Amino acid sequence: MQPVPVSFPASGDPVEVAIDELTLEPDSRCMVRRVLDPEADVQVLAWCWDLSGRPPVVRPDDPHGGGAWRLALAGPSRTTKAPLPLWHAPVVGGLVVRVIVWEGRHPDLAAEIAEAMRHSALTAALAAVAPPAPTTVMSAMAVRGAAAALGTDIAPVLRALCPDYLDFFEAYLPATAAPGEQQHRVLHGGLTIRVRPAAGAADGSGR
């Protein structure tokens, strides 16, 4: 039986995806115990991937520029102080966005997650659909299965390096999604995702 080729829609031009605002509410204490402690560092971590064959992008990617990724205490809640950039590249198929809120001060958590991601089954499965290799039903299903099992690669790093974390948000943004803002309510807060055409040329890496 011959492999069945499949194709995915693409955005064509690069797009920018960012978290415009994220709010963590007091009831998140069941997962992030020190959410209302002014001495605690409560931070945001995110990763994104599409079906272009590129490896997942982990944010923040600059260990010295992560201040914006800390949530500020604002009355009974915590919130972002500035937009958080997630993606700057064309999108193939769709963009999966995963957002984690964590408490702690480990300076290299994002780098450790990126390293675990680099060795994950998902990254290997995505590489199998990278051009010029044809994408088949089987290779697309392999990506789906690896994505479902990603927690096996990532959760041990989170448990080892931060006292508490909350799997805050996950979404799928189609490659053909119209520019604009998307507001999402989640169990312990909410966030606004902004999609717009990229202001400048992207290097194709999602960065």
% of the chain surpassing 90 pLDDT: 75
Q: Tell me the whole-structure pTM to 2 decimals.
A: 0.92
pLDDT band for 200, please (50, 70, 90 cuts).
low
pLDDT band for 100, please (50, 70, 90 cuts).
very high
**Residue 147 C-alpha from the chain's centroid:** 12
CB atoms within 10 A of CB 37: 13
Contact between 112 and 58 under an 8 Å Cβ cutoff? The reply is: no
Tokens encoding 176: 């053909």
Q: What residue has token string 């960012």?
A: 18
Residue 64 has pLDDT above 70, yes or no: no
- pLDDT value for 92: 94
Residue 37: closest CA among 81, 67, 76: 76
Q: How far apart are the first and last CA of the chain?
A: 39
Contact between 46 and 100 under an 8 Å Cβ cutoff? The reply is: yes
CB atoms within 10 A of CB 35: 26
